[in-house]
Amino acid sequence: MSASEAIRSKNYVEVNYDDKIPNNVDLGSDRQLQRALESWRPDYLEWWKEAGPDGFQDADVYLRTAVGVDPSGWAVFDHVKMPEYRWGILLAPQEEGRRIPFGRHKGEPAWQEVPGEYRSVLRRLIVVQGDTEPASVEQQRYLGQTAPSLYDMRNLFQVNVEEGRHLWAMVYLLVKYFGRDGREEAKGLLERRSADKNNPRILGAFNERTPDWLSFFMFTYFTDRDGKMQLAALAQSGFDPLSRSCRFMLTEEAHHLFVGETGVGRTIEATVKAMNAAGITDPYDAEAIRALGVIDLPTLQRKANFHMSVTRDLFGSEVSSNGAELYSSGLKGRYEETRIDDDHVLADATYPVMTVRDGEIVTDELPALSAINSRLLDDYIKDCQGGIDRWNKVVANAGIDFRFVQPHKGFNRKIGEFAGHSITPEGDLISAEEFEARRDEWLCNEADHEFINSLMKPCYEPGKYASWIAPPRAGINSKPGDFEYVKIYDNDAAAGE
Ligand SMILES: [Fe+2]
Ligand SMILES: [Fe+2]
């Protein structure tokens, strides 16, 4: 059954694909909203063509499209041209009688409309989240041209169309609930551009470049995981439409994290296999290892160090009155709020926060409310560890003496308690001069990037993979190894529009 057939068949009545904009929010019953979104749509498509994947707009890509919000079987797979992807508005089902789970409104019925007193903070929250979605598409726009396989290219484009859909999810909230201001913000989301001098994206990490595939995999493992944590905190929101939007977005986010974890894991696998085949046991013999056309493990660690530290900055200041107010007002909760065993108001609670005082890193017990961001960051760091442990298993199984680790929380930070301090990955406070002198031990330098870049050659033959990355364990949707995930036509591969 093709996607369009499946979409029309009775199994998937949940989402209305007859409307121009697929949705499960009964868009047809709200003419004004429908018109507003339909008039935003051409601008969105303009943005997609101008700032989305460069080339490949006519390629047939094996994409999954959401056809429902039921966790079992919400997606169908088919070859689709990206500009024809059915970007839709999908909310998790409304929970009967849901109540605000935390803050000073705890226990009141969840808001179905915007609470007037929080209107502008709530709008800002949605805009900041919304801004990250198109930003990551922009950051990744040239990667198709150096894809290490059709499988990986397909995964890139899947992530891209879903980030585009996440933008739709936030724009729906802005347009439906924030009137004229919301429509202005929805326009602004298509006007800012990642790394643009005059009109950049809102958050720092989303103005960094994603210049190569290793960066892409690190980004999807570490930075999409920030997305997961933010969405999980917003999924707790007392503003029910935001909660429902984020709950469905989380199901898509899981695939992005999978792409990152397995992408880095397969890179490690190719490296250790090549080392074993060549009889190299010293993981620090970079020259010999690089000569095999794979990326040495210490370089992967340095690359990870960069992505971890930049992403940790996305959590904002560890101690924040703004974070406290978002929590107390019931707009943004903690990770897994409803599973935490406390009063969910936190008036007298404390939380340990690391800081630098008198030339030492110390831990203070601070009011838990002001430490909300700090807690989310700690939860994020814990959440990062699972994949790192699995990467280490690949290394250990190959009999190579090397371990990937997370750097100290204060390493290379630009925002929060550690900003302005120089801290090694081991957690030693050092001088700025020493940090500069030793920077190459901890972060990739020019030569590392040049080497990584030299490996970024496209590999478009079905079932074939670039030297530096191992094939996946299984295909997408159980497809065989030589499946043609992307059908490229002559004019696609040409660079530029
Ligand atoms: Fe997203
Ligand atoms: Fe994502």
pLDDT digits (tens, 9 = 90+) for 26-73: 898 999 999 999 999 999 999 999 999 999 999 999 999 888 777 777
Q: From the CA of 63, how far away is ligand 1's center (Å)?
A: 16
Ligand nearest to C-alpha 165: 1
Average pLDDT for 109-122: 97
Ligand nearest to C-alpha 253: 2
What are the structure tokens assigned to 75, written together?
């997606």
pLDDT the model gives residue 3:
53
Ligand nearest to C-alpha 248: 1
Ligand nearest to C-alpha 225: 2
E strand residue ranges, 308-433: 350-357, 360-367, 422-423, 429-430
The CA distances from residue 417 to 140, 306, 423, in Å, are 30, 18, 12
Q: Report pTM.
A: 0.95
Q: From the CA of 366, how far away is ligand 2's center (Å)?
A: 32
Q: Tokens 């943004």 identify what position? A: 332
Residue 267 lies in a domain: yes
The CA dihedral of 66, 257, 391, 279, to the nearest 10 degrees, is 70
Q: From the CA of 164, how far away is ligand 2's center (Å)?
A: 10
Q: Work out the percent of the chain whose per-residue pLDDT is above 70.
A: 95
pLDDT the model gives residue 493:
58
Ligand nearest to C-alpha 256: 2
Q: Where are the alpha helices (DSSP H) in 9-51?
A: 31-51
Q: How many CB atoms lie within 10 A of CB 424?
A: 18
The CA distances from residue 250 to 169, 234, 352, in Å, are 12, 11, 28
Query: Is residue 12 predicted with pLDDT exceeding 70?
Result: no
Ligand nearest to C-alpha 159: 2
Q: How many CB atoms lie within 10 A of CB 233?
A: 25
What are the structure tokens assigned to 133, written together?
């979605």
Where residue 209 falls among pLDDT bands split at 50, 70, 90? confident
pLDDT the model gives residue 10:
37
Q: From the CA of 66, how far away is ligand 1's center (Å)?
A: 14
Domain carrying residue 96: 40-316+378-428+439-493
Please tell me the distance from the alpha carbon of residue 284 to that of residue 294, in angstroms, as a whole number.
13
Are 494 and 62 in contact, with CB atoms under 8 Å apart? no
Residue 365 lies in a domain: no
Please tell me the distance from the alpha carbon of residue 366 to that of residue 119, in angstroms, as a whole number.
29
Residue 222: closest CA among 154, 138, 120, 312? 312
Q: From the CA of 289, how far away is ligand 1's center (Å)?
A: 36
Query: End-to-end alpha-carbon separation of the chain, Å?
Result: 33
Average pLDDT for 386-398: 98
Q: From the CA of 178, how far away is ligand 2's center (Å)?
A: 25
Ligand nearest to C-alpha 219: 2
Which distant-in-sequence residues (6+ apart) come within 8 Å of 398 by Cβ? Answer: 272, 273, 275, 276
Ligand nearest to C-alpha 249: 1
Please tell me the distance from the alpha carbon of residue 268 to that of residue 395, in angstroms, as a whole number.
7
Residue 358 lies in a domain: no
Query: Is residue 497 predicted with pLDDT exceeding 50?
Result: no
Alpha-carbon torsion (449, 454, 458, 464), positive or negative:
negative
Q: From the CA of 219, how far away is ligand 2's center (Å)?
A: 9
Q: Is 429 helix (H, G, I), strand (E, B) or coil?
A: strand
pLDDT the model gives residue 13:
38
Q: From the CA of 301, how far away is ligand 2's center (Å)?
A: 22
Residues whose beta carbons lie less than 5 angstroms from ion ligand 1 = 133, 163, 166, 227
Q: Which helix (H) or strand (E) holds 340?
A: none
The CA distances from residue 64 to 36, 41, 227, 441, in Å, are 27, 21, 20, 41
Query: Is residue 9 predicted with pLDDT exceeding 50?
Result: no
Average per-residue pLDDT for the chain: 94
Q: From the CA of 146, how far away is ligand 2's center (Å)?
A: 21
Residue 338 lies in a domain: no
Higher pLDDT, 15 or 304: 304
Q: From the CA of 128, how far away is ligand 1's center (Å)?
A: 12
Q: Is 128 helix (H, G, I), strand (E, B) or coil?
A: helix
Residue 332 lies in a domain: no
Q: From the CA of 296, how far away is ligand 1's center (Å)?
A: 30
Residue 40: closest CA among 178, 182, 137, 244? 182
Ligand nearest to C-alpha 167: 1
Q: From the CA of 109, how far away is ligand 2's center (Å)?
A: 30
Q: Residue 412: how many CA atoms within 13 Å on its side-chain side?
A: 23
Q: From the CA of 229, how far away is ligand 1's center (Å)?
A: 11
Q: From the CA of 252, how far away is ligand 2's center (Å)?
A: 7
User: Partners of 65 in the beta sheet?
Assistant: 76
Written as one string, the DSSP assignment of 274-287 is HHHHHT---TT-HH
Q: From the CA of 145, how far away is ligand 1's center (Å)?
A: 23
Residue 467 lies in a domain: yes
Query: Is residue 5 predicted with pLDDT exceeding 80?
Result: no
Q: From the CA of 133, how far away is ligand 1's center (Å)?
A: 5
Q: Where are the alpha helices (DSSP H) in 398-474?
A: 432-442, 446-455
Q: From the CA of 227, how far away is ligand 2's center (Å)?
A: 6
Domain count, the chain: 1
Residue 9 lies in a domain: no
Q: Where are the alpha helices (DSSP H) in 141-296?
A: 150-177, 179-191, 213-218, 224-234, 240-278, 286-290
CATH number of domain containing 235: 1.10.620.20
Query: Is residue 491 predicted with pLDDT exceeding 90?
Result: no
The CA distances from residue 87 to 45, 163, 207, 279, 391, in Å, are 10, 10, 24, 50, 34
Residue 197 lies in a domain: yes
